[in-house]
Structure 1
């Protein structure tokens, strides 16, 4: 069983728990996800299944889209509603015009400090483990890109929004920064990922739906051949396909830097990168008959 599944992760469980559930339901140990969702968040969690896990490297820089709610009035240790308050609660109802101006300031590229409670590692140790022990954690700021910030509603201390951001952006940190800028403190109260790259919530299935479809013999797998559609698909003759699946260079008349090489049956054989001219080298071999990767 090989391909991708767009899972609708429920709030309240970790991404790892969702992967474990999918492994159990599919009876497949080779399952990984493309980008962690915090336990409090719901929405699109893309799972790569079987040989599709070999393609994960090509999805690292996919942008993400979210909808959520920020609660102004106090900050928390985790920058979300699961943490302990770190400031006294104050009655603060932001003006819509002030929030729109604030959102405008954050558009584009800027340095963002990840939350202390995150999977980012400090000397090989996840920062959340250090934070849980009460140790001071200060993570290096990294460049992120906020491509869209849309204000959906302001209801008292609650601000609903939609955001489209680069990979690696922490929406919790955004909420925390907003609270600092407004002088009120703030935290992320609710979050839903609506898209991860080309994978949207319209294609997502819940764990219950996944179980039902597996019982019906029709798991909602996106086939290998439909993944990474931005790379041109190049059908190969049998001899060339055999070369590619053994990790050898092939000649392909294509101007792209990366291509999907298909065997004579139309199945994905490999992802190849240009070496020189029309010569391409397989960097990931998907064909199960080869141990190359």
Structure 2
């Protein structure tokens, strides 16, 4: 019979790119030698940034953190359309974005502030009839998805150069930045896809306080960074 460490708490992890959220959490689970772990909001494999990892009894808090607002920084590559909404996917079409101006991008972004409806992407962890959309998408199957109401509290253009718009988005839970990039691209008439994505905040938790990617296999650092709370 396996013997596990009886520890509980909240761990802020800075997820590296090119690894799934599940594998990141599983790695932490093994290093801490605990029976139960969970996380609050899946990040795309290529994405980096804040992942709230719940350890032990803290897994009871998952619903609470899942519903909190989030802040992302992302680079939208204009003129490129992929099947996944990011550069991990297959390029479907390339369009000329040379006439798009910084002012045009700002105006397009502003159209998405407030309450809007989004259709979840096929390449997502969302389940329909018990099946993950991403698993269906990899088989070439597309199913109808109902639009979902989300809130973009603030979206700002940080820079625009060489057809790349760097943006920061403050949004409600359930917002897909890849879908936002695609919808902005449609408004601009040239298409767009996510080139980079980083989650900076979930509620009051900031990635600046998270365990660095290179320290995620260091047991002492993980234990020292574990936030104790009331469960």
Range of TM-score over shorter length: over 0.9
Q: What count of residue pairs does the alignment treat as equivalent?
A: 225
Backbone CA RMSD of aligned residues: 1.5
| Alpha-carbon distance in structure 1 between the residues aligned to 2:65 and 2:97 | 42
1:196 aligns to 2:184 (yes or no): no
| Alpha-carbon distance in structure 2 between the residues aligned to 1:116 and 1:217 | 34
Which of 100, 104, 107 is the matching residue for 2:110? 104
Aligned residue for 1:54? 60
2:76–2:166 Cα contact (<8 Å) kept: yes
Aligned residue for 2:228? 223
| Alpha-carbon distance in structure 2 between the residues aligned to 1:135 and 1:211 | 37
Mapping of residues 8-157 of structure 1, within 5 Å: 8-92=14-98, 94-157=100-163
2:216–2:222 Cα contact (<8 Å) kept: no
Deviations 1:254-285 (Å, cap 9, x if unpaired)? xxxxxxxxxxxxxx3xxxxxxxxxxxxxxxxx
CA gap of 1:24–1:169, structure 2 versus 1, over 3 A, is: same
* Structure-1-length-normalised TM-score: 0.73
Can you give the 5+ residue segments of structure 2 that lack an aligned partner in the other structure?
1-6
* Structure-2-length-normalised TM-score: 0.92
C-alpha displacement of 1:40: 1.0
1:72–1:92 Cα contact (<8 Å) kept: no
CA gap of 1:23–1:102, structure 2 versus 1, over 3 A, is: same
Can you give the 5+ residue segments of structure 1 that lack an aligned partner in the other structure?
225-267, 269-285, 287-293
| Alpha-carbon distance in structure 2 between the residues aligned to 1:52 and 1:136 | 36
